[in-house]
């Protein structure tokens, strides 16, 4: 590990955009209409940090605060719930637009569909979203978490009546475990936000579910962002949001900066290899950014990112910790944002880019200046409260 951020501009051969249509505006509209049918639905805040923008030398800085999403403190429920709905729609021979929350929680639905078991692997947020959706719809959920997972995240999943375990393997091996168990279970379905050969449809639906977040942000921001900073684990959120904005602004899409934990920087490693093929990162994937501790990219989102990302950044843990503290105690007059380890990395990255002379070359290549309108996604709140306090209160993982 190094102490500094690493980056590379995207010089990859373009993919041909065979997956870009997955994130069409039509599909995004279907996902948002589905989510709007939930009584718990409300657009999450888009926080404008004018003071921070001035301090960093930007024209504007916006943070989409997903800690308010459905009371679950993270955005992931958007993808899991929509994928479950699309699976059910397929089984019933209907379009997902016919499946509202009211119908899916009705006795009529249970009579027509019965009960399935949804299997997934998670660091916490995705599994909680799947468990929450399954519970509301009268379905079952089985969730496997990688070793080192926070007890608070385990407890939050268990509260949703899911069968949940912490395994002695990493995230990618938990994915394989969930898939194998689903294949051996009657009415078993794996709901995973990464793809592999023969398993592409459900991950595509999960990505479409994430479009609700991007669609809200575009609507709230009103003007086109010039730069969008996107954190990546398997890359599904990053590919989904990038795909949405490319479809929304096909003539002038924003510049996309893809950010990863240094311990699990499979997209960065794929980018520096330069041939367009995905690279994997193995081992324990130790990082405070638990939601980004994934060593194998989603090939669907990679197809979008290799064509449309502007740069890939590999981030030591202190970058995220710096972002957490900056959002928790912002410039006077700006509202505070409670951002967890995986949610705050964008704030950390943009602050380093704008304030560290070692990053001048990338800053200039990205054309980040006083006319830039930067959009960040705080994808989770304090989903591990104990660690959040250690970082924000006690100064753990200090900046170099």
Give the SS3 label for residue 36: helix
- What distance in Å separates the CA atoms of residue 32 and residue 215, rounded to the nearest whole number? 8
Report phi then psi at 170, rounded to 5: -80, 180
Q: C-alpha distances in angstroms, 172 versus 72, 167, 233, 273, 388?
A: 24, 11, 11, 21, 25
Length of the chain: 400
Supply the DSSP string of 92-139, one letter for each residue.
HT--GGG--HHHHTSHHHHHHH---EEEEE-SSHHHHHHHHHHHHTT-
Is 159 annotated in the active site? Answer: no
What residue ranges in the chain does DSSP mark as E strands?
A: 6-9, 46-48, 60-65, 117-121, 140-145, 163-166, 188-190, 227-231, 255-261, 309-315, 373-378
> One of 30, 64, 76, 255 is an active-site residue; which one?
76
Give the SS3 label for residue 189: strand
And the tokens for 203?
Answer: 């991950």
Is 76 annotated in the active site? Answer: yes
> One of 30, 65, 123, 334 is an active-site residue; which one?
123
Contact 12, 312 (CB under 8 A): no
- Smallest Cα–Cα separation from 171: which of 83, 281, 259, 270? 281
Q: How far apart are the first and last CA of the chain?
A: 14
> Tokens 């890939």 belong to which residue?
312
Q: E strand or H helix at 144, and its extent? A: strand 140-145
- Smallest Cα–Cα separation from 378: which of 336, 315, 329, 317? 336
And the tokens for 346?
Answer: 């964008």
Report phi then psi at 196, rounded to 5: -150, 175
Q: What is the crossing angle of helices 201-221 and 25-36, to 10°?
A: 80
Q: What is the crossing angle of helices 77-92 and 25-36, to 10°?
A: 100
- Smallest Cα–Cα separation from 201: which of 27, 386, 339? 27
**Strand 6-9 with 373-378, pairing:** unpaired
> Tokens 């990082």 belong to which residue?
287
CB atoms within 10 A of CB 147: 13
Residues with a catalytic annotation lie at: 76, 123
């Amino acid at each position: 590990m190094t102490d500094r951020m690493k980056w590379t501009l995207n010089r990859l051969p373009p993919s041909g955009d065979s997956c870009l249509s997955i994130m069409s505006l039509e599909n995004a509209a279907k996902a948002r209409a589905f989510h709007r049918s939930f009584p718990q639905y409300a657009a999450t805040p888009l926080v404008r940090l004018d003071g921070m923008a001035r301090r960093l030398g930007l024209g504007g800085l916006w943070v989409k605060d997903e800690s308010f999403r459905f009371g679950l403190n993270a955005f992931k429920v958007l993808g899991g719930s929509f994928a479950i709905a699309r699976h059910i729609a397929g089984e019933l021979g209907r379009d997902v637009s016919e499946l509202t929350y009211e119908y899916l929680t009705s006795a009529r639905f249970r009579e027509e569909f019965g009960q399935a078991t949804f299997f997934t692997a998670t660091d916490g947020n995705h599994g909680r979203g799947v468990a929450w959706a399954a519970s509301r719809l009268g379905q079952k959920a089985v969730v496997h978490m990688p070793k080192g997972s926070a007890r608070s995240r385990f407890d939050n999943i268990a509260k949703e009546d899911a069968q949940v375990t912490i395994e002695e393997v990493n995230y990618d091996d938990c994915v394989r475990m969930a898939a194998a168990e689903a294949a051996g279970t009657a009415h078993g379905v794996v709901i995973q936000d990464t793809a592999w050969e023969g398993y592409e449809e459900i991950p595509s639906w999960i990505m479409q579910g994430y479009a609700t977040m991007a669609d809200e942000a575009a609507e709230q921001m009103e003007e086109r962002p010039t730069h969008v900073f996107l954190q990546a684990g398997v890359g599904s959120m990053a590919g989904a949001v990038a795909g949405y904005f490319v479809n929304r602004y096909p003539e002038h899409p924003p510049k996309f900066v893809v950010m990863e934990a240094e311990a699990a920087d499979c997209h960065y490693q794929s980018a520096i290899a330069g041939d367009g093929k995905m690279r994997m990162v193995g081992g324990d994937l130790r990082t405070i950014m638990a939601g980004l501790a994934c060593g194998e990219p989603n090939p669907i989102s990679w197809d979008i990112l290799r064509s449309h990302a502007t740069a890939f950044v590999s981030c030591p843990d202190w970058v995220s910790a710096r972002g957490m503290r900056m959002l928790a105690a912002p410039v006077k007059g700006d509202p505070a944002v409670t951002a967890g380890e995986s949610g705050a990395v964008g704030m950390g990255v943009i602050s380093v880019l704008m304030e560290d002379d070692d990053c001048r070359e990338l800053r200039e290549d990205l054309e980040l200046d006083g006319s830039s309108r930067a959009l960040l996604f705080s994808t989770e709140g304090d989903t591990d409260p104990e660690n959040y306090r250690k970082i924000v209160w006690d100064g753990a993982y200090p900046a170099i």
